[in-house]
Chain A
Amino acid sequence: MTATALKGDLESLRARVRQLEETAVRQPLPTLPALTGLVELRPGAAYEVDSASLVLALLAGASRQGLWSSVVGLGDLGWEAATALGVDLGRTVVVPDPREHWLEVTAALIELAGVVALRPPGRAAARDAHRIAARLRSKGTALIVWGSWPMPEGRLSLSTPRWSGLGRGEGRLHTRSAVLTVRKGAGPERHAELLLSGDGTISRVVSDTRAPVGPVDEQVAV
């Protein structure tokens, strides 16, 4: 073995050690394969979503990798669909009705690390959002809010859904295609067409179908 090859190995090992030593805050949380490169859950950040499908898809990505997922204020999720996506129910904590204590409950469940999904009953005050954000950063937890949240890291929305399999009086719901729009701060919107098939899995059909003007750097994770 040559010295250069050894040096290369050494470098890669060093890089790996650096990676492990970095605090969890730096490592993006795992997402579903269909969403990689498009959505990245940064630990310590809050994301706005607009549908239950997205909540479950984001939980599933983290839950598949053994992270805990907590759900606050969402008593109406379909857990069969969640399981089909890959959510591990054994590592899921749900508080269906936190009543007026939803902020305290969310703060407590952030301690579990992983991903916390929240449906706030109203709009959170900026001060509360800052307190939650501080906790998120210290624990490396990502917050997914179905609703609105002051200054989210990113906004994900699912639009123009089209169902196939259902006719007028016959057939049954089978597959859905929808366009996922990702907005991050003032950056350009990113689009991808997703196929949500009958067995509950999500696959990506076309990336950046209707990309806005200007080049979109594939490496920029949102």
Chain B
Amino acid sequence: MKPRARTMVLWCPDWSVAAATVEAGLPADQPAAVLANNVVTVCNQAARADGVRRGMRRRDAQARCPELALLDHCAERDARCFEPVLVVVEQLCAQVAPLRPGLLAVASPAGYYGDDRAAAGVLVEHLATIGVLEVHCGCADDLFTAEQAARRAAAGDCLVVPPGGSPVFVSELPVEALDEPALVGLLRRLGIRTLGALAKLPARDVKARFGDYGARIHQLARGEDPSLLTARTPPPELTCQVRFEPPLESIEAVGFSVRRTAERFVAQLAARQQVCTRVHLEAEIDGRVVSGRTWTHVRWFSADDLVDRLRWQLAATAGLTTDPQREHGGVDAVRFVPEVVEAAGADGLWGGGAEEEVERGVARVQALLGYDQVVVPALQGGRSPGDRQAWIPWGERPSGLRPRGLPWPGSIPPPAPVLVLEQPWPAEVLDGSGTMAWVSDRGALSGEPARFRPRPDTAWQPVLAWAGPWPVEERWWENGSRKLTRFQVVGADGRAWLMLCDRGRWWTEAGYD
């Protein structure tokens, strides 16, 4: 029987903290901990030295180490930061299997590099070049033993368990190595302290007591981990780039020249039956990225859409003009980086029909006015009528809208105003004595409103009916917050207005027409 390839495990300890500190721009030696639900899940060596431990509550951890940097748990960030590590290892050896962020296994490339220790040395050296300094390696016949060896290796070193040595190595480990808290507690109470003691138990008895789960644990304890590496397929390179030699100076020329690249970008995704819904466009001038922006599309990007977006972006950010006389550096390179790629839906089969016509019509207006001048209204939660609606540029997906389901105390009861002024009009409201009505700090109105005008260029009219003041208690804890009150006012012409009073100043916020 052909011997199974030996397994090498690379372990970067406290990966969550390492990834979070790098992203937060903190120094590596700063005590830091990652928390989930106010409980420390991972902390780094500096924090451990101050007594911070896993499972500790936030305030206990802060009490032990006041300068502790508290970072939020983010599984996506951990995985994202681990990606460069995987890429480096994939360049050096085949069959890389990420186990979880911070831990990966490879089929040991000892045959190529000489022996296991030399291979590990090469990997550690290359990882150091991308800033991953603390790597522990372990090499053994099976995955479990290799992982345990890596956890016991010194930083930057490789602990090699000789071929066939797994049972001996594993038998000396405490049962805590299994990382199954419930089982470990039970084994301890049964008097089983090491994996060796567990391995000595008859396999049939362990299976009878713990079922298949126990049988698997027993296999691990015997140093015979049956799991095979499931190497990942390296992700395809989807970024497309085009370089211009000599640099192009006008937007028209760039738009014309990137068309082939944009088509290739869309086609390579289409070949995988995928479409891009969010893309990052970058343009370089004199070797520097001067214009970078992320665009989203309601459906997906076609080559035309990409070229359009690039033109708008260059016109807005890079200071390029269609005027060839202007002095500026030319565009050297343009890059299309897909950010969100989704499986292509089936709705392309019969063609968009009316939808495509709409897209074309809107694209014409966008070309005339700029992409953000064509918007789609959206509703969101909020208290004032203006807060309850939002503009979303055509082609982008709504994001960051406040939920409408919440109660929003203090919002104006229906009917909703048909006119919501983007810029409130300065208004004037006089009380019976002919002076400007005002609301005191305690919310009392100086006098009953008698006459008003919703904007300065309209005529004064008597107040027919009114209600208020309705205090607006928003962000009262912030500095510079104002005490505002709202009124509904109906004029003699029968039109109703929603007015805002800031002590003695009045604004018309919305109209009921």
Q: A interface vs B, CB < 8 Å?
A: 51-53, 56, 68, 75-84, 89-90, 92-99, 101, 104-105, 108-109, 111-113, 158, 160-163, 166-174, 176, 178, 196-200
Contact = CB atoms under 8 A, between A and B. Distances in A.
B494 A109 contact: no
A172 B339 CA distance: 49
A111 B360 contact: yes
A9 B40 CA distance: 77
Contacts of B421: 76
Contacts of A199: 414-415
Interface stretch (B279-287, B324-332, B375-383): B375-383
B197 interface: no
Contact of B413 (A75, A161, A168, A172): A172
B166 interface: no
Contact of B365 (A92, A109, A113, A196): A109
B7 interface: no
Chain B at the A interface: SS class: mixed
A94 B391 contact: yes
B415 A79 contact: no
Interface in B354-399: 354, 357-358, 360-362, 364-365, 368-369, 373-379, 385, 388-389, 391, 394
Contact of A161 (B369, B394, B494): B494
B292 to A, nearest CB: 27
B419 A77 contact: yes
B510 A112 contact: no
Interface string B460-480: 000001111000000000000
Contacts, number: 159
Contacts of A77: 377, 418-420
A92 B376 contact: yes
A81 B418 contact: yes
Contacts of B365: 95, 105, 108-109
A74 B58 CA distance: 51
B494 A163 contact: yes
A75 B180 CA distance: 61
A200 B415 CA distance: 6
Contact of B415 (A76, A98, A104, A173): A173
A160 B495 CA distance: 9
B388 A172 contact: no
A166 B376 contact: no
B419 A105 contact: no
A167 B448 CA distance: 12
B465 A167 contact: yes
A112 B357 contact: yes
Interface of B: 354, 357-358, 360-362, 364-365, 368-369, 373-379, 385, 388-389, 391, 394, 413-422, 448, 465-468, 488, 490, 493-496, 510-513
B25 to A, nearest CB: 39
Contacts of A75: 422
A79 B377 contact: yes
A81 B362 contact: no
Nearest to B373: A95
Given A105-B368, A168-B448, A81 B374 contact: no
B376 A78 contact: no
B201 to A, nearest CB: 65
Nearest to B374: A95
By Cβ-Cβ distance, the 9 closest A-B pairs, closest first, are: A161-B494, A80-B416, A81-B416, A79-B377, A166-B465, A111-B361, A52-B418, A78-B420, A108-B364
A119 to B, nearest CB: 11
A11 to B, nearest CB: 32
B369 A105 contact: yes
Contact of B358 (A51, A68, A81): A68
Contacts of A92: 376-377
B379 A166 contact: no
Contacts of B354: 68, 113
B422 A84 contact: no
Given A68-B358, A105-B369, A173-B415, A162 B494 contact: yes
A112 B361 contact: yes
Contact of A84 (B373, B394, B416, B510): B416
Contact of A78 (B362, B389, B413): B389
A163 B376 contact: no
A160 B376 CA distance: 33
Nearest to A109: B361
Given A167-B467, A170-B467, A80 B388 contact: yes
Contacts of A89: 376-379
Contact of A173 (B369, B374, B394, B512): B512
B416 A111 contact: no
B419 A78 contact: yes
Given A166-B465, A169-B466, A173-B415, A94 B376 contact: yes
A92 B358 CA distance: 10
Contacts of B379: 79-80, 83, 89
B463 to A, nearest CB: 8
B377 A166 contact: no
A93 B392 CA distance: 10
A173 B416 contact: no
Given A93-B394, A108-B365, A160-B494, 17 more contacts: A76-B421, A77-B420, A80-B385, A80-B417, A82-B377, A89-B379, A111-B357, A111-B360, A111-B361, A113-B354, A161-B513, A166-B496, A168-B465, A168-B466, A176-B512, A199-B414, A199-B415
A168 B448 CA distance: 8
A172 B488 contact: yes
Given A99-B369, A112-B358, A166-B496, A78 B418 contact: yes
Contacts of A176: 415, 496, 512
A112 B394 CA distance: 14
B466 A166 contact: yes
Nearest to B489: A166
A169 B389 contact: no
By CB atoms of chain B within 10 A, which of A79, A105, A196 has the most?
Answer: A79
Contacts of B361: 108-109, 111-112
Given A108-B364, A109-B361, A168-B465, A96 B391 contact: yes
